[in-house]
Amino acid sequence: MKVYCQPPPVQSRLLIDQFAGLIDHTFLKPFGTEDDIEKLCEEARCYGFAAVVINPAEIETCVRFLEGSKVRVATVIGFPLGQTTAECKAFETRDAIAKGATETDMVINIRALQKGQLDVVKCEIDGMVKICKPKQVICKVILETCYLSDVEKETVCRIAKAAGADFVKTSTGLGTAGATVHDVELMCRVVGADMGVKASGGIRDLETALAMIRAGATRIGTSNGVAIVEAYKQLK
């Protein structure tokens, strides 16, 4: 396997590892080569990121590249629009797990939420949780906050918490805006300390990542994880 990075210095490993362990190292482009995926996985292994987040077609490749490491393989469900049925999302989830995914990030049906069809949103979240939990697969619910009112955000957070999801997540990164401090604080307030909040979308530098963590985020989704960790190392 090619080596794309060097491990962090031993003398600062504990602090760096704690910080890096909050990051989901992300590659969700519709194009690229296998070398791009190998590089993503090797960086995640070297820096000790929580997970790589990739499109479903790359799950088995990442499982192979990350064999023997603690880095988890996360994939997206109903991505990026959320406009598939609960049955389709359930199939995607089962298929992802069968291929080796250990985390799933599912986009809710935003239009159903906005039409007041809460039973649709509840059904798809319940379905994902029921599939993931017996397999010890972490499940995250993507709100796409840029399209929602605060009341709608709170509603989804409550549904996700009641269903037993592990995380609520701000954004896909492909909407009109990404994570904001306001949204992270709101989501943390609703779900409480027993559930994770993932800030994702538009997090490209250390300042933004730290702002999200201070607001309560327990995961950071970014494609700039290496640069962010390197910048963090300079603070120590």
Residues 44-70: tens digit of each pLDDT: 999 999 999 999 999 999 999 999 999
The residue from 24, 105, 126, 183 that is catalytic is: 105
Q: Domain ranges for the chain, please list them.
A: 10-230
Q: What is the dihedral of CA 11, 4, 102, 185, to 10 degrees?
A: 60
Summarize the chain as % helix, strand, coil (round to 5): 50, 15, 35
Decide: 84 and 93 in contact? Cβ < 8 Å.
Answer: no
Residue 156 has pLDDT above 50, yes or no: yes
Token code pair at residue 69: 């490491």
Q: How many helices (H) and strands (E) does the chain have?
A: 10, 8
Q: Is the pLDDT of residue 210 over 70?
A: yes
Q: Is the pLDDT of residue 6 over 70?
A: no
Closest Cα partner for 54 from 69, 68, 70, 34? 34
Is 198 part of the annotated catalytic residue set? Answer: yes
The whole-chain average pLDDT of the chain stands at 94
pTM over 0.95: no
pLDDT category at 11 given cuts 50, 70, 90 is very low
* pLDDT tens per residue across span 82-106: 999 999 999 999 999 999 999 999 9
Of residues 136 and 4, the one with the higher pLDDT is 136
CATH of domain 10-230: 3.20.20.70
Of the candidates 39, 89, 140, 198, the residue annotated as catalytic is 198
Q: Which has more pLDDT, 236 or 138?
A: 138
Least confident of 7-16, 19-28, 126-135: 7-16
Q: What percent of the chain has pLDDT over 70?
A: 94
Catalytic annotation present for 105: yes
**Active-site residue, 99 included:** no
d(CA 55, CA 33): 13
Write the secondary structure of the chain as one string of H (helix), E (strand) and C (coil): CCCCCCCCCHHHHHHHHHHHCCEEEEECCCCCCHHHHHHHHHHHHHHCCCEEEECHHHHHHHHHHCCCCCCEEEEEECCCCCCCCHHHHHHHHHHHHHCCCCEEEEECCHHHHHCCCHHHHHHHHHHHHHHHHHHCCEEEEECCHHHCCHHHHHHHHHHHHHHCCCEEECCCCCCCCCCCHHHHHHHHHHHCCCCEEEEECCCCCHHHHHHHHHHCCCEEEECCHHHHHHHHHCCC
Q: Which of 39, 122, 140, 169 is catalytic?
A: 169
